[in-house]
Structures are given as structure tokens and as C-alpha cells.
Amino acid sequence: MPGTLRLDFLELLRALSEHEVDFILVGGMAAAVQGAPIMTFDVDVLYSTDAGNLTRLLSAIEDLEGYYRLQPERKLRPQLAHLAAGGHNLLMTRLGPLDLLGSVGNSHDFRDLLPHAMAMDVGEGTNIQVLELEKLIAVKEETAGEKDRASLPILRRTLEELRRK
Amino acid sequence: MQGMPAADDTSADEPAYSEDGVDLTLIRWMLSMTPAERLQVLQQYVDSVLSIRAWNSQTRLS
């Protein structure tokens, strides 16, 4: 990656929030903001595929100068049709890697998981929806790859400690 | 934000590790913070890693 790489998680989340994108923070960062000592380099978000939201999301991606990081030299920008397809859009932005996910686990989409999300202030009044740790664990267990299997014990123990508090 | 837990920061009724080897002191330390502070910890971690990588790249070049 270029030496000028800049990652700013809060600014990235704030950009999505300011563009009024409907999303839920999932993945390692969702676990970390709930207390799991897990480190990650990207922001994973599950987005709503409603037409209005896709337009707002596209606007946010433009603001963030997002492009597909699979072929970084081509700097391909996502189009509405890509986002509407609801797959995984792995982007690089001027504020760091951003994974836009249409679904997670066994095809859970934004609408399925919104009841399992909670609002959190992640800094400077930036309020976002975060997938609750219990559901995050359940989703990871459904399709756990090697990386997820390694982190699951930490997530489970964090949930236990949270419940003890 | 509170500092990292000390190595001897344990008590008899609160084990340092779970049965599956997870460091519970780190979890308790993270849980002592607000979500915003936890995000700052994450940010500081990646900043540190990127600084080290940049430093290593410069060292290799010089």
C-alpha cells in the first residue's frame, strides 16, 4: 500500500452518517466498540439496499473517493447496480478500507439485523447503529472462516464479561 | 481513557485468563471505556502499525 495511506475510523463513520446512509456497523470494529480486544484495519458495514439509501451511499462513496481495492490501479468506482446487487463491495477510501456488505452470515440483510442493532456514540456525537455482540457472534458462527474462528472465543468471553457487569 | 492493565492486576476471584486462554484483563480494560474511547484505542493501534511500517520502509530505502 502507498506510504501516504491514512486511516481515520471516526471520520469514515461520520462521513457515512452525515450522508444519512442507513447502515449497521458489523465485523471486528463492531466487536471492538462493544469491548472486545480485537484489532482490525477495515470498517465493515451492512447497508440498506432501499433505492434512496443506495443514492445516499453512492454520494458518500464519492465524497470518500472510494474505489474497489481488488484492482487498485484501475480505481473503479462502485455504481448503483453494484450496490443494488447486495454483494460484498470491498473499497479503499481516502480514510481507509471500507467493506460495504449487502448481507452477512447466512444472507442476513440490513432489514433482518436492524432489530438486533443498537445506537452508539462512537465519538464527537457521531451516532451509529452497531450490531449487538450476541447477534454478531451468532452471525459469525454461521459462516465462520479461519479468521472468525480465531476471534470467536474472545467475542464469547467479552459477552460473558458484559453480562457480569 | 484508562491505561493498560498492569501484569499483576489480578485478584483471586477474578481470573486473568478464561479456560480457553482468552486474556480477561484486556476485556475488562476495554469494558471500562466508552465506545468512543474503544474506537480511539483501535485508531491508535493502526496508527502505530502504519508508523512502524513507514519507518521500516524508509530504513530499507536508506
Residue A2 inside a domain? The answer is no
Q: Which residue has the cell 489480578?
A: B10
How much is the ipTM here?
Answer: 0.92
Put simply, whether B1 touches A (Cβ < 8 Å) is no
Query: Looking at the whole model, is its pTM more than 0.80?
Result: yes
Q: Provide the number of structural domains found in chain B.
A: 1
Residue A142 inside a domain? The answer is yes
Residue of B nearest to A163 (CA): B31
Residue B61 inside a domain? The answer is yes
Q: In terms of residue numbers, what domain contains B49?
A: 35-62
Q: In terms of residue numbers, what domain contains A102?
A: 9-159
Put simply, whether A118 touches B (Cβ < 8 Å) is no
pLDDT tens profile A75-119:
999 999 999 999 999 999 999 999 999 999 999 999 999 999 999
Residue B23 inside a domain? The answer is no
Q: Provide the number of structural domains found in chain A.
A: 1
Residue A3 inside a domain? The answer is no
Q: What angle do CA A141, A93, A147 make, to 5 degrees?
A: 20
Give the span between the Cα atoms of B1 and B29, in whole angstroms: 10
